[in-house]
Structures are given as C-alpha cells and as structure tokens.
Amino acid sequence: MDDNQHSLLEKYNRLSEFAKIFWPSLDTLNEQRRLIGAGDVLNSFITLPLAVGGLVWLVLSTELVELQDNTLFLIFNFGLLILFSRLSFFTIVEIRSDRYGSSEDSLASMIQWSAIFIIGPTALWLSVIYTLVDFTLNWRNSPSPGERWSLLRTLFSSLAVNTFAPLASLAVYERIGGSYPIPGLTIITISQALLAISVNFLLVLLITAGYLGYHIGVQKILAQSNTIYPLIRFFLISVGLPHLAHPFSILLADFYIEDGVAVYSFLLTGLILVAYLSRRLSLVAEFNRQQSQQLEKLEKLSRELFQVIPDPSILNSVLEQYIPGMFPSGRISIWLSPDNTILNFPEDWQGVADDAWQWIMKQDRPMSFLVNEVLPWQTVYEDHLAIVTTPISQVNAHGVIGGIFIELRALAQPWDKKSLRNLYPALLSLADQIASTLQQAEVYNNSLDFLQISQELRLAGRIQARYLHNKFPPIPGWQLAVTLLPARETSGDFFDVIELSGNRLGILVADVADKGVGSALYMALSRTLLRTYAEEYDAEPEVVFFAANNRLLKDARANLFVTIFYGILDPEQGTLTYCNAGHNPPYLIRNANHNAVDSLSLTGIAMGIEANATWTTNTVTIEPGDVLVLYTDGIPDTQDPDGDFFDDESIIDIAKENTGRSAYEIQSSIINKVQEFSANVPQIDDITLMVLVRDN
C-alpha cells in the first residue's frame, strides 16, 4: 500500500469511527465489510434529508381530489408496478478478480413515468408506497445489522430518487409549459417531456454520486490500485440502463390518452413479454457467465496444479490465485485437517467453526443453504448469506480428507436452490482436483525406486477407475453393459455415459493412441473436456468434438491423438445421433431383418490431430430387439498363439448368435470368446466393450 492509499485508509477509518456511533459492532467485521458497512451508514445520512424533503414536497403537491378521481387508475398502475418489479432484469460485473458489482432494475420506472405524464406528480405515490412496502417486508427477514443498514441506505436513496429528483424535474417541465395529461405528441410536447426525463436522470446521478465516490475510495484501498474505470463504467451502466426506456413512457401515456384503455393494455402486454424475456435473458447470461468463469478457472488451475505435485507447499498460493474468482464468493475456506487449512479468504477471516467442518466431513455430496435456513451445525438461526459446501474425498478410497465451504455474495441474481445446484459441478471438480493433486504429490515424493513407481502407476489406475462409471442411470426399455480390461496398470481406453437434458444419454467409447502414463493423462484430459462440452452442447455432438479438439490441441501439446465414438441416445424415440472420430465402427445388429448389420462408420478424423477439424453427424434408429456393439481395437488386435487376429467378423457372429439375450450376456459371450481365442497370450492392448440392447 503506497502513501496515498495509506492516507486514504486513515480518512476512511475516521469515517468508520463516525459510523460506529450508530453501529457499535462495526469493528468486529473484517476490513472489507467494515468499509462497505460504514458506507451504508454514511450514505443513509446523506440521502435522508433528500428523502424526507422529497416526501414533504410530494405531500404538498398532492391534491386529494386527484387521488379520488384517479383511484382505479392508480390501483391498476400499482399492480403493474408490482408485476414489472417482479420481472426485473439484472447485470453482474466482475470489477476485480475478487469483487463483483450487481445492479437490478425493471421497466417499472417506465410505468411510473407514463402515469406521471397522464395524471401528474400524484402518480409518484405509486413508487413511494411500493418502496415502503418492499422495505418493510425485507426488514422483517433481515436480522443482521449489516443487512438492515444496507436496507436503510437503499430506502433513503430510493425515496430521494423517486420523489425529490422527479419532482424537481417536473417543476422544470411545468415551468417550460408542460401540462398533465400530456397534450398529444408534437415536437414541443415531446421536447418538454424529454427535458424533464433528462433532468431527472442528471439529478439521480447527483444523488447517487456520493455513494459512487465513497466506493471508488474503497476500491483503491482493497484492490491497492488506482484503477477505478471498471467501477465507474459499472455505475453508469447500472444507473443509466433503466433510464433508456423512460422516453417510451411518453408514447405509452399518449396511447392511453388518445386511444383508451384497450390499446394501452395491448401495449402493456407486449411490455410484459419484453420484461419476462429480459429477466430470463439475465438469468441465462449470468448462468453462462458463471459457467464460463468456472470452466476457465478450472482449466487454468488444472495446469498450475501440475507444478504443485513435486512441491505441495505452493498449493496454498496457487489456490489463492484462482479460487476467489472462480465463484461469486465473499468467503471461502478449504480445510484438510484440524491443523491444515490450505485456503482462507479473505485473509483476516477466522474461518469456519469446528462444528461446521465436522458436519461437512460426514457428508458424501455437495450441500447448499439459502439465507433464511438454519444451518445444520447450528441449533438456532445465525445470520449468513447463501452457502454451498462439499467434502473432499480421497482419490483411491471412500474416506473424506477435508471440505470446501463457500459463502456467496448477495448479488442481484436471486440465489435459489436451482442456482446453487448449478455450482455443484464446478465445486466437485475443484474438490477432485485438490484431492488428486495431494494424492499425486504424496506418491511423487515417495516414488524414489521401482517399487514406489509401481505404486504410483497402480494409483493412477485407481484414479482412472474413478472417472469410469460403475453404475448407469436406469433406461426403461433398454439394457446397457460395459467392461474395460486394461493391458497395464493405466489405460488409454475410456468410456462414459453422460446424463443429458430431456432424459437423453451421451454414450462414449474412446481409445488414446499409445500406452502408459502419458496416454493415461491424455485420457483424463480428453474425458474431462468431452464431458464438459457434452453437457454444454447437449444436442450437438459435432460441436462437442470441435470444441474439445481445439482445447486439447491448445493445452496438451503431447503429439498424441484419440479415436472417439460419441452418440446421443433418445430412449423414447429410439434414435442415436452420433459422430465417429476415427474410431472402430460400432455394429448395429438388426433383429427384425434377419440380423442384418449396419456399420456406424467414420464421420471425421481422430481428435488431437488437426486444429479446427470438423465432423459430421449421422442418426440411426434402434428398433426393439436390436443390438449395438461398441468396442476398441484391443478386441480385433487380440492374437492367438499362432499370431492370428480376432477379426471384426467374429464380434458380429457372436452378437448374432446371442440376439434376444441380455446386454450383459452378449457382452460376457464376446469377452469369453476373446479370452478363449488368446489362449493365455499376454494382452497387448486395452480392451473396452459396450453393448446396448433395446428390449422387444
């Protein structure tokens, strides 16, 4: 921290001393929350006079006759105000790596201004009443001093913005000849109304400028940087965006005045649809932003963790670099043992209580808690934000070695159970990466002789085994059986069954060219990329291949390639949409056509060879009684003592002979024949066999 930042911190500490008069427990918070909390107190006192003055001004400007004459109109518009407020849209911006800014607004202010241009300042009571009701409901559910001061700051600021600013701008409007209702749409009346809206916007900027100025200083202190442009840009977007719709309130008011309620209601229906789509777009955009952020951070973290293996002491610094920005988190703790907390963020946070860790370590899956839920390790409710947790499990055993605790920031995005569950995949990947890194580091440090190297290889095989399913989701009307027989401790073969939306399944069989640890690592990276992109592009196997191929070439640089067959099965329709990247063509044995055989041939080259390669897709229909056999080249490459190969026709013949039997029986028959054929000749390549049967 330089001298200017130190001097700024001293000034802010003096402001905090003033805030402590009204919030005595402010000193118990960490530096970031203390500075933000002091800002809430100070801004409350700055905007309070404007809020009170605006309310008094509104009372004096209101005539009871107007209220009585427009009662039905006001009630109707108050309902619209509630509806549009519930259909709010929001923006969330990463101001710095560990700090987010969020803003929420709606088209309700446009409804407010259209009502003003119809009946005058009396319509401002709509937003005033809504603000007071909303404040009262939130106050009852906010027991902590921090939340209550934040609510007070929002209340006084909203009242000032919704009374003082518009009343001052309407005074200008009336002075230049504006009247209520707006007398038609002419250049003069539109100019008068636009001037009023513009003055209102400038006054809103002035009212909120103090809060912005305070937080610019907070940004300089916490980030130890003078870069304030992201914060100013976010402020202008959050304040200016909702005002862009205000000019359209002039048109809306004119339609009501000139064309009546029917046309007015028709336009409102369109606005409601726009508001709904805007909210859905906000939710989708934030979900995609979080997913992209998490995927990017996980990929970078994965590469950095390779450096941790020979020196686990640097794990803490690597996690500090990537984890805080991975989630919209306020506090994070990653714990391995009572005496080994490998990450506490922020640094001045004391961490999670022992009761919480003991509870987390007894779980076998991620858990989430909303702000109003009593935490299971507490007997009574204590103030907290939305929380997600997960245990960290051992790679090669069923034991739990630690846990992850994340308390999320209160952003404009509503944290509900669905949005919290959306964080689970990244949370589980993070836990697996930490566990895998720690396990590999432990093995690395003990691998000083051949025995230790052998142990490492066996561990790698067990790590690989964790990637492979041993349980499959039930598929009514279908049977699925799969086996993998590695030729060594580690395997370059892999398979996957991925649950997709709409009850569809992704079915994948692949083979890395080469053997040993290198191909095993390449297999792990390939599987992670394929699963990640399969869930993101869950109806486009060709896009999955394109994205995974380019990322593989960018990150691996291993001069390896992988052949892959990936199909999306729709069990209800009986269709399989697939791409075949240089893999042995699976065989589809038709039950209803004298066991005719369809070969699911190549649709492109193997993955990992050429950047920007593309693949085409094919679709086949699997009828009742049909059998699909997927395999790797370990089966046709199997040799007998005379050096002859177990060819593809043998696979087809065995499958035909067992048509009508279960998938497991067909699979067992093929594997048994392969092993009988080899007659104890050492297996030279990994063998993977998957059999899919549609019941009659």
**Type of residue numbered 340:** N
Domain with CATH 3.30.450.40 in the chain: 306-438
Average pLDDT across the chain, whole number: 82
Helices (H) and strands (E) in the chain, counts: 20, 17
| pLDDT tens digits, 228-253 | 666 666 666 666 677 778 888 888 88
Residue 460: pLDDT band with limits 50, 70, 90 = very low
Write the pLDDT tens digit of every residue in 58-87: 999 888 888 888 889 889 889 988 888 888
Out of 3.40.50.300, 3.40.50.9100, 3.60.40.10, 3.60.110.10, the CATH code matching 457-694 is 3.60.40.10
What is the pTM for the complete model shown? 0.52
Which residue did the predictor score with more confidence, 28 or 181?
A: 181
Q: In angstroms, rounded to a whole number, what is the distance separating the alpha carbons of residues 487 and 483?
A: 13
Q: Helices 187-223 and 247-305, interaxial angle, to 10°?
A: 20
| Contact (CB, 8 A) for 208 and 215 | no
pLDDT of 537 strictly over 70: yes
Q: Which of 226-235, 604-613, 682-691 has the highest mean pLDDT?
A: 604-613
What's the CA gap between 512 and 686, in Å, rounded? 10
Query: For the residues 621-640, what does the mean pLDDT come to?
Result: 92
For residues 488 and 460, the answer to whether their CB atoms sit within 8 Å is no
- Lowest mean pLDDT across 160-174, 336-350, 419-433, 461-475: 461-475
Please check whether residue 351 is in contact with residue 341, taking contact to mean a CB–CB distance below 8 angstroms.
yes
Of residues 134 and 520, more confidently modeled: 134
Which tens digits make up the pLDDT trace of 196-237? 999 998 998 888 888 777 777 776 666 655 566 666 666 666
pLDDT at 464: 47
User: What pLDDT is stored for residue 213 in this prediction?
Assistant: 75
**In the sheet that 387-393 helps form, which strands lie side by side, from edge to edge?**
340-345, 329-337, 400-408, 387-393, 367-369
Tens digit of pLDDT for each residue in 302-334? 777 766 655 666 777 778 777 777 777 778 888
Contacting residues for 91 by C-beta, under 8 A, at least 6 apart: 102, 103, 234, 237, 238, 241, 282, 412
pLDDT for the residue numbered 318: 78
Say which CATH superfamily domain 306-438 falls into.
GAF domain (3.30.450.40)
Residue 27 has pLDDT above 60, yes or no: yes
| 65: enclosing H helix or E strand | helix 64-69
The most confident of the ranges 8-12, 58-62, 442-446 is 58-62
Is the pLDDT at 143 greater than 80? The verdict is: no
Average pLDDT value for residue range 4-15: 68
Question: Is the per-residue pLDDT at 453 higher than 50?
Answer: no
Residues 322 and 302: beta-carbon distance below 8 Å = no
How many beta carbons lie within 10 A of that of residue 624, not counting itself?
12
Quick: pLDDT tens for 76-116. 889 988 888 888 776 666 655 555 556 667 788 888 899 99
Q: Which of 177-181, 479-483, 525-529, 567-571 has the lowest mean pLDDT?
A: 525-529
Q: In the chain, where does the domain assigned CATH 3.60.40.10 lie? A: 457-694
Pick the range with the lowest mean pLDDT from 167-181, 546-560, 596-610.
546-560
Is 346 strand, coil or helix?
coil
Residue whose structure tokens are 């053997």: 515
Q: Measured between alpha carbons, how far is residue 132 from residues 37, 138, 276, 503 in Å? A: 22, 10, 24, 46
Question: How deeply is 128 buried, as exposed, middle or buried, from its count of CB atoms within 10 A (0-12, 13-18, 19+)?
Answer: middle
Tell how far CA 671 is from the center of its chain. 42
Q: Please give the average per-residue pLDDT across 479-502, as a whole number.
A: 84
Q: Which two tokens stand for residue 508?
A: 């994948």
d(CA 351, CA 422): 24
Residue corresponding to tokens 């987010």? 100
